[in-house]
Amino acid sequence: ITFEKVGDPLSKIGDPTDYTITLTNTSSADTPALTCTVTDAAIGVSETVALASGDPAYVINASAAIPSGASNPYVNTASVTCSVTGFPNVLDASDSHSVDLFEPSFTVTKTGDALAKVGDVVNYTVTLSNTSGPGTPALTCTATDSLLGVIYGPAVLPAGDTVLNPTYTVQAGDPDPLVNTVTLSCSLPSGFTNELADASDSHSVDLFEPSFTVSKTG
């Protein structure tokens, strides 16, 4: 027999990962049919098949999510045992597959002027950080500010820090303090389960109102 297990090369915890297990009976033509049991506990496979010499390969397609706490790389093994009815011969084979696991992560921080008044320009610094682990596919991200609207993307967020310096002119009627929040949303390419939690950060500006009077009588 020949026995092979292949699968997706890249995944992350919680994502479904596809595998293909192939069993081929390469016995001589006069060999009785083999009764084979294929097992793979990691992906929930347990199947028994009768396979004669010359039959097409027996193929199992299975999908299983990468479990929480899985090691990186995530290695799992399929096994097969085959026998011939009435004979003591037992054939064993196994094959393993390794999946590289990546860890997408990102953060956002927002700072700015602490004090301003109506008509002043407030300067902000927004830092978008792609802190993903090695091997992570490109993250497509959008940063949206509750006061300024979209300030980044949608675009691929490079690894490391991307620093933005948006500004805002304080308007009459703005609330005091002037609080706004930036939210960073990112997704992975198609083929991965894009369940990435948004990151956000807020900044507050105290608005002051200078005033003075003078009176003169005589």
pLDDT in tens, the chain (218 residues): 999 999 999 999 989 999 999 999 999 999 999 999 999 999 999 999 999 999 999 999 999 999 999 999 999 999 999 999 889 989 999 999 999 999 999 999 999 999 999 999 999 999 999 999 988 999 999 999 999 999 999 999 999 999 999 999 999 999 999 999 999 999 998 878 767 899 999 999 999 988 899 999 99
* Chain mean position to CA 213: 61
Q: Is 18 within 8 Å of 8 (Cβ atoms)?
A: yes
Predicted TM-score (pTM) of this structure: 0.76
Alpha helical stretches, state H, 23-115: none
